[in-house]
Amino acid sequence: MKFIDKIVNPAHIGLEYKFLGLNQPIEDSIKDKIVGMIVDLALSTENISNPLSYILKKGNLGKSIVKIFIIEKDKKQLIKEVAHVGEVPGSEGLNPI
């Protein structure tokens, strides 16, 4: 996994094996400011048949969107987009889906 670029200036970017994190100040969330990052995830041939899974967490404000693309040479194809809006009751502000 390799960090490629950021969109606007998030307060924190975390990138580790099996973890991506992106935060912004609460004031920016209230103003619906957008932050984001672009990451290159390469799958080995041994793992290509295993499904990619993730848990999307967000705070109680705004929305989070994950877009997954396959990029080969000059072609970019969106294969999955998940928009998370709202709250998950009992999750103490983590709101996982």
Q: For residue 19, is pLDDT > 80?
A: no
Which stretch of 3-7, 58-62, 84-88 has the lowest confidence by average pLDDT? 3-7
Q: For residue 42, is pLDDT > 70?
A: yes
Instruction: Identify the three-state secondary structure at position 41.
Output: coil
What confidence tier does 33 reach under pLDDT thresholds 50, 70, 90?
confident
Q: Model-level pTM?
A: 0.66
> What distance, in Å, lies between the first and last C-alpha atoms of the chain?
22
Mean pLDDT, to the nearest integer, of 29-44? 80
Question: What is residue 52's predicted lDDT score, i.e. its pLDDT?
Answer: 74
37 and 72 together in one domain: no
27 and 69 together in one domain: no
Domain range for 32 is: 1-42
92 and 71 together in one domain: yes
6 and 30 together in one domain: yes
Sort 53 into a burial class: Cβ within 10 Å, 0-12 / 13-18 / 19+. exposed
93 and 62 together in one domain: yes
Number of domains in the chain: 2
